[in-house]
Structure 1
Amino acid sequence: MATEVTAKADHPLDPLTRNEITAAREILEENQDIDPESRYVKIVLDEPSKDKLQEDNSDGSAIARQAFIIVRDRNERTTYEAVVSLDQNEVVSWEHKPGIQPSITLEEFDKCEEVVKNNSEWREAARKRGVEDFDLAIVDPWSAGYHLIPEDIDKDRRLSHAMSWVRTSEEDNGYARPLDGIHAWVDLDEMEVVKVLDRGTKIDDVVNDLEDAKYREEDRDLRTDLKPYNVDQPEGPSWEIDGRKLEWQKWQMRVGWTQREGLVLHNIRYDDDGDVRQIINRASCVEMSVPYGDPDPNHNWKNAFDVGEYNIGRLANPLMEGCDCLGYMHYFDAVMNDTDGEVNVVPNAICIHEEDYGTLWKHTNWRTENTEVRRNRRLVVSFVSTVGNYDYQFNWYFYQDGSVEPQVRLTGINSNGLVEPGSEQGPGYYEMMAPHIKGMVHQHFFNFRIDIDVDGPENQLYRRQNQQVPKGADKNIGWDGETDPGDINPTGAAFYCDKTQLTSEQEAQDLINQRKGRYWQIENPNKTNYLDRPVGYRLVPGENVEAGAQKDSSIMERATFIDNHLWATPYHEEERFPAGEYPNQHEGGIGLPEWTEQDRSLDGEDIVLWYSLGVNHVDRPEDWPILPAHLASFKLEPVNFFDESPAMDVPPEHAIKDIQARREQKYSDPDDVTADDD
């Protein structure tokens, strides 16, 4: 049940509606001479600043609705930015942006494949690999990067580095037969192939000498012993949705969307016994970097920025009931634009549902034989995007104990290459997934921007980690209660959780250290709980990995944000993306590394956390032909934010449903021990 899209948004942070996108394009074209062959890369909400939102809340005045537009003029080979007032029907600004390349559009994806497949040099190279039916070939326009663009190609051109595969039928797995060694660089403005490079064949006939890698339902023998599993919510869900405002249990938030980031969550708050308290102002995944470690020149250039170079929101899937989500669901459509500036809608792009997540808390009093147990119910706000071969699911989990867990699930098909017969055992740069098919070692880094406001914007940041206590450090209270001038740590077992304030941007650049139990704590020094402790939240790492590339590599120059797991900056309206506004074909050095050179204060400031979540992917046959979902996440947990566990008021199951009646409904024997119990 997709949310109804109205003619006008209900809130200043709501994404542009269909009518607003159309109006923005029409206003711009009425006031500017837009070349008919120009491409509308983006028509999105020009988000109001924090200050404007606070002013709106204080005096009740309405914030003007504005659209931000990026136009690529193909004939001028340049880019323009515009801000359009939807209330005043006027162009607020029109700015020429020379020397930058906006993200690659869907139309460019399609046309790039077409021009490559019609190129005579590419066809000659494909024939060498056994390709006869060029309609069965597929071409993926990878981002070209910067440093490894061939010297004979002008880097000022709008480029894509195209890679190719071939199918044996229209419904076949397109990535089972790589045309490894064929490289095509395409000018996306001119839409012409500017260079084809054939590095030589490894398999002479990829069509007949490689195996199928079928995965569709009709092509596989499916197991027959799986019984139905139904999620039943006969009374409906526990949430309330009003426009884009979502309330669940004691959580409140607004559900937003951008073409670049996909899902954006605004104004995340918690109702603490009638006191609605601010936790996060804005949160999203703002950039990705996927560097490959194989020195094979067919693959060593790969380092995709799936958010900044491709617009991961634009690549969102329409989600399917019963497959992507179970139970009672609410969907939001993603209302966006195509390159002509017309409205394009991805239905059911955002899914909201509840999940049972095992035990929330439990205690058995063995003296009285009393047991209290609560089930853990969590809210899921999610979307899924497909970027060529890979599929990424972004889940934001909200828990009844006041914690938040952003999670990424990686699935789809691994980017792959060919190995010559007799060379299947690699030195660790790759692993074999199927005969002659290698998966190159690579990493996925997801940078999350968390504009955190713990009970307000004046916060402090601390590193917390375990610290050992040396012997003889201080006095010890002995068993007899008397002071002993000997060791404070006579057994050597004493340790404590150190708390060090990170007062500036340079101090805050940090790496995880699981051995020391390192995490980071954000506190509001002006607010305390009933124990007189500053209220706070902590960022607790889960799976993560150090970047494999060297610091002076081309990868690290462009994706410097993966050099640290944690960065922190004072809030600035223009600082939105860690690799800069336009990372496509940029040489690097912008974004977080540039901003943090100022080493601004973080003491009592409006702090923004930037967390880089890394996944190390060493391929295996069990990842082929489709990668089982790999889960990676981190958590934001309350620390002194509440006076006690906020989960104590969660009711037991027998208080919200008739356990006996459900047993009788589901089982012929009401005493069946496999039935629901409390």
Structure 2
Amino acid sequence: MNTRNLDVAAEQRQLASVVHPLASLSSEEIDVVRGIVANMPDFTENTRFSYVGLEEPIKSDVFAWESGEAPAPDRRARVWLHDLDKGVSTDSVVSLTTGLVVKTAVVDGSEGQLPVLDTEAMNIIAILASDEGWVAALATRGLTTGDVQIMPLSAGHYGYPDEDGLRVVRCLAFKQDYPADHIWAHPVDGLSVYLDLLQGVVLKIIDTRIFDVPAESGNYDDPEIQGAPLQGLKPIKITQPEGPSFTVDGEHIAWGNWKLRLGFDVREGLILHQLSFADEGVDRPIMYRGSISEMVVPYGDPSPNRFWQNYFDAGEFLYGRFTNSLALGCDCVGEIKYFDAVFADELGAPRVVENAICMHEEDFGSLWKHTDLFTGAHEVRRSRRLVISFFTTVGNYDYGFFWYLYLDGTIECEAKLTGVVFTSAYPGDNADGTPYPYASQIAPGLGAPYHQHLFNARLDMTIDGTSNVVNEIDAVRLPVSATNPHGNAFTKSSSPITSEAVSGRVADGSRGRVWQIASTDATNRLGQPTSYVLHPTDAPTLMMDPSSSVAKRATFGAKHLYVTRYDPAERYAAGDFVNMHPGGGGIPEFIADDEPLVGEDLVLWHTFALTHFPRSEDWPIMPMDYARFTLKPYNFFDKNPTLNVPAPVGEGHCIASSDQACGEVRSGLGVREDHCVDGDGSPLP
């Protein structure tokens, strides 16, 4: 064994006792991981690191360590390796504490492949340039291999026998007129190619129709296309002269009554750990872990060159690899705290993305306000939120993932979508003049296929502890009856989700459907279970037929909610190895044993989505679009937890019981005038 690797491992063991069990892997720890792995017998110079991430200890071990009842859990990393020469992939867990390989298994491809490597993708241009069939297909369109850029895309799984055991990508071509020309404006449509990355050969070319390559520029960064700058916009400056209200200790954050830990994983991106809210001096747990466990972008064009388009950006591409380095004043404005992201590159060396995570406060309008008609009291408080976000660019799309914490205990998660829509040649309208039914025309001859973005949030909830239940709550309209003679009554229904097999639920805006995560142990002062309520956005679930390949692989997208008992091995909604998985991984496996869910340690799998019928305004770059959900306290507190938020100060405009307010009261209901008082409490004349 390399002596330097032993030294680094020894240093890591000395530090293990002071590293929080949920802390993101550091650069030094990634070096240690590589040192351990490099001594495995099958490690060669052709071995590439597909994934390195923290193997989080089980929840009970973390709790025992925090309470002082047990030593720090063994600090471990999960490592996926792929040998470019032999084609062998492995899934291993190594111990940073002991320097040993804890376990390892071969990933044989029958239940999915490791994600596509950049190293593999870089070889595709050379493979295609030497393939006579591909060169000829381009020539029939007046193009050479030097005229086009290739977009390698995940293959999915369609039961093709000749693809069994292979690492397949499917590729589309785009013409590029010069190095700074944005390729998305010029799809070379009617043509696609399937490649095997293991053998480095073309498997099949699908050449169905020759389209004219759309010629209009999509260079949104060209001043001529942008037009004259908009005049009249004055600067907006956001300042906090006394600094931000949050405090930071490593990855631990305190803000207002909130406490939490940040984390980063190259597959899941931003992770929030151990969210709690201080209530009368007690830090009450709300959510143990929140992350985006998976997302899928399925396209709805059934043409021979595009029917296979669906991308699991987390599981197939590890979108954390493409995290942006954020710039002050461009991506984040105000008093900003940045956090770097650290992950392993394909050679196992630490890669640091500076300013990957942005945290700041935002004013959010009125928190609460009332002008009382009888007392003249006039009170208002300003709301603010803590914003924690990161951006990643996956091919044509840019995704921002934003978590918001509010002073009243509300949690919100928002996915922001921008970038460039994936383009096609527009086939033209039908003979009867109706538009092509599966894509929008967004520029002359340029199409954008209909598609969806489905995000799955894994929400490991701990509402006042680990004994919880999820209730489905609907608004109920009541008919006229003896007890409702005037027909004005309505009520709500609440029913527990009792087991995993029946936990798949769909939002229903007509019923105002929400899901309540309630403690089965704790109550508020009125005897009501303390709880939070998940407010979904009522958007379409996965639009594909249930028998389709993507529906089998993205079962999580068929419902807005699934609920499972906590299992540390159940981390990703579509399963561990998504690339070329035949289907049935993730959620179907998690709920198969139909464990009971009342009074248990629960995980919610919530899909929130955007269905996109592109419009002309989305070209040549798409204005921001949004998908979101909200978690709100419901009987969690005994009363409004923001009563003690100070009144706005400094401008002199928010004085309680102003003369203007009293004038409004006097002219309203004829209230006794001595109820109107000045700012110091004395009656107004």
TM-score w.r.t. length of structure 1: 0.90
**CA offset at residue 602 of structure 1?**
0.5
Q: Confirm or deny that 1:189 pairs with 2:208.
A: no
The answer for the alignment partner of 1:144 in structure 2 is 155
Relative to structure 1, the CA distance from residue 105 to residue 578 in structure 2 (aligned partners, 3 Å threshold; closer, same or farther) is same
Count of paired positions: 634
Matches within 5 A, 1:494-509: 494-509=489-504
SS at structure 2 position matched to 1:22: helix
Is the 8 Å Cα contact of residues 10 and 243 (structure 1) preserved in structure 2? no
The answer for the alignment partner of 1:286 in structure 2 is 293
**CA offset at residue 600 of structure 1?**
1.3
Residue type at the aligned position of 2:625: H
Residue type at the aligned position of 2:102: V
Q: Deviations over 1:195-227 (max 9, x none)?
A: 332222111xx2xx5100121164422212221
Give the Cα–Cα distance (whole angstroms) in 1 for the partners of residues 256 and 504 of structure 2.
Answer: 35
SS at structure 2 position matched to 1:180: strand
Give the Cα–Cα distance (whole angstroms) in 1 for the partners of residues 154 and 340 of structure 2.
Answer: 28
Question: 1:532 pairs with 510, 527, 532, which one?
Answer: 527
Give the Cα–Cα distance (whole angstroms) in 2 for the partners of residues 87 and 599 of structure 1.
Answer: 36
Give the Cα–Cα distance (whole angstroms) in 2 for the partners of residues 586 and 546 of structure 1.
Answer: 21
Is the 8 Å Cα contact of residues 477 and 491 (structure 2) preserved in structure 1? yes
Is the 8 Å Cα contact of residues 113 and 141 (structure 1) preserved in structure 2? no
Relative to structure 1, the CA distance from residue 95 to residue 496 in structure 2 (aligned partners, 3 Å threshold; closer, same or farther) is same
Provide the alpha-carbon RMSD of the alignment: 2.1
Give the Cα–Cα distance (whole angstroms) in 2 for the partners of residues 33 and 599 of structure 1.
Answer: 39
Is the 8 Å Cα contact of residues 428 and 435 (structure 2) preserved in structure 1? no
Is the 8 Å Cα contact of residues 516 and 533 (structure 2) preserved in structure 1? yes
Moved more, 435-444 or 537-546: 537-546
Matches within 5 A, 1:262-277: 262-277=269-284
The answer for the alignment partner of 1:433 in structure 2 is 442
Moved more, 463-472 or 435-444: 463-472
Is the 8 Å Cα contact of residues 407 and 631 (structure 1) preserved in structure 2? yes
Question: 2:215 pairs with 198, 210, 219, which one?
Answer: 210
SS at structure 2 position matched to 1:216: coil
Q: Confirm or deny that 1:320 pairs with 2:332.
A: no
Matches within 5 A, 1:514-663: 514-654=509-649, 657-658=650-651
SS at structure 2 position matched to 1:653: coil
Residue type at the aligned position of 1:246: I
Relative to structure 1, the CA distance from residue 360 to residue 131 in structure 2 (aligned partners, 3 Å threshold; closer, same or farther) is farther
Residue type at the aligned position of 1:571: Y
Give the Cα–Cα distance (whole angstroms) in 2 for the partners of residues 412 and 113 of structure 1.
Answer: 24
Question: 2:62 pairs with 31, 53, 66, which one?
Answer: 53
Matches within 5 A, 1:275-354: 275-354=282-361
Matches within 5 A, 1:122-137: 122-132=134-144, 134-135=145-146, 137=148
Question: 1:12 pairs with 21, 30, 33, which one?
Answer: 21
Relative to structure 1, the CA distance from residue 191 to residue 32 in structure 2 (aligned partners, 3 Å threshold; closer, same or farther) is same
Give the Cα–Cα distance (whole angstroms) in 2 for the partners of residues 16 and 191 of structure 1.
Answer: 34
Relative to structure 1, the CA distance from residue 429 to residue 420 in structure 2 (aligned partners, 3 Å threshold; closer, same or farther) is closer
Is the 8 Å Cα contact of residues 426 and 439 (structure 2) preserved in structure 1? no
**CA offset at residue 166 of structure 1?**
1.6
Residue type at the aligned position of 2:469: Q
Is the 8 Å Cα contact of residues 143 and 160 (structure 1) preserved in structure 2? yes
Residue type at the aligned position of 1:329: I
**CA offset at residue 371 of structure 1?**
2.4
The answer for the alignment partner of 1:62 in structure 2 is 72
Give the Cα–Cα distance (whole angstroms) in 1 for the partners of residues 304 and 367 of structure 2.
Answer: 50
Is the 8 Å Cα contact of residues 427 and 436 (structure 2) preserved in structure 1? no
Moved more, 114-123 or 78-87: 114-123
Q: Deviations over 1:440-493 (max 9, x none)?
A: 111111011000010000001101011122333xxxxxxxxxxxxxx1111112
Give the Cα–Cα distance (whole angstroms) in 2 for the partners of residues 528 and 363 of structure 1.
Answer: 29
**CA offset at residue 421 of structure 1?**
5.5
SS at structure 1 position matched to 2:355: strand
**CA offset at residue 396 of structure 1?**
0.4
**CA offset at residue 241 of structure 1?**
0.5
Is the 8 Å Cα contact of residues 293 and 300 (structure 1) preserved in structure 2? yes
Q: Deviations over 1:271-300 (max 9, x none)?
A: 112100100011101011111112222222
Relative to structure 1, the CA distance from residue 544 to residue 334 in structure 2 (aligned partners, 3 Å threshold; closer, same or farther) is same
The answer for the alignment partner of 1:38 in structure 2 is 47
The answer for the alignment partner of 2:241 in structure 1 is 234
The answer for the alignment partner of 2:372 in structure 1 is 365
**CA offset at residue 311 of structure 1?**
0.7
Relative to structure 1, the CA distance from residue 337 to residue 118 in structure 2 (aligned partners, 3 Å threshold; closer, same or farther) is farther
The answer for the alignment partner of 1:3 in structure 2 is none
Is the 8 Å Cα contact of residues 116 and 317 (structure 2) preserved in structure 1? yes
5+ residue gaps, structure 2 = 1-10, 654-678, 680-685
Relative to structure 1, the CA distance from residue 324 to residue 78 in structure 2 (aligned partners, 3 Å threshold; closer, same or farther) is same
Q: Confirm or deny that 1:103 pairs with 2:112.
A: no
5+ residue gaps, structure 1 = 1-5, 473-486, 661-677
Give the Cα–Cα distance (whole angstroms) in 1 for the partners of residues 294 and 465 of structure 2.
Answer: 26
Residue type at the aligned position of 1:146: H
TM-score w.r.t. length of structure 2: 0.89
SS at structure 2 position matched to 1:537: strand
Q: Deviations over 1:341-367 (max 9, x none)?
A: 112121111111111122221112244
Relative to structure 1, the CA distance from residue 554 to residue 237 in structure 2 (aligned partners, 3 Å threshold; closer, same or farther) is same
Relative to structure 1, the CA distance from residue 256 to residue 539 in structure 2 (aligned partners, 3 Å threshold; closer, same or farther) is same
Give the Cα–Cα distance (whole angstroms) in 1 for the partners of residues 194 and 78 of structure 2.
Answer: 30
**CA offset at residue 420 of structure 1?**
4.0
Give the Cα–Cα distance (whole angstroms) in 1 for the partners of residues 644 and 651 of structure 2.
Answer: 19
**CA offset at residue 543 of structure 1?**
4.5
Give the Cα–Cα distance (whole angstroms) in 1 for the partners of residues 266 and 125 of structure 2.
Answer: 22
Is the 8 Å Cα contact of residues 325 and 355 (structure 2) preserved in structure 1? yes
Residue type at the aligned position of 2:49: Y
Give the Cα–Cα distance (whole angstroms) in 2 for the partners of residues 240 and 217 of structure 1.
Answer: 42
**CA offset at residue 527 of structure 1?**
0.5
Moved more, 325-334 or 544-553: 544-553
Relative to structure 1, the CA distance from residue 471 to residue 254 in structure 2 (aligned partners, 3 Å threshold; closer, same or farther) is same
The answer for the alignment partner of 1:395 in structure 2 is 402
Relative to structure 1, the CA distance from residue 114 to residue 320 in structure 2 (aligned partners, 3 Å threshold; closer, same or farther) is farther
Relative to structure 1, the CA distance from residue 626 to residue 114 in structure 2 (aligned partners, 3 Å threshold; closer, same or farther) is farther
Residue type at the aligned position of 1:158: R
SS at structure 1 position matched to 2:123: helix
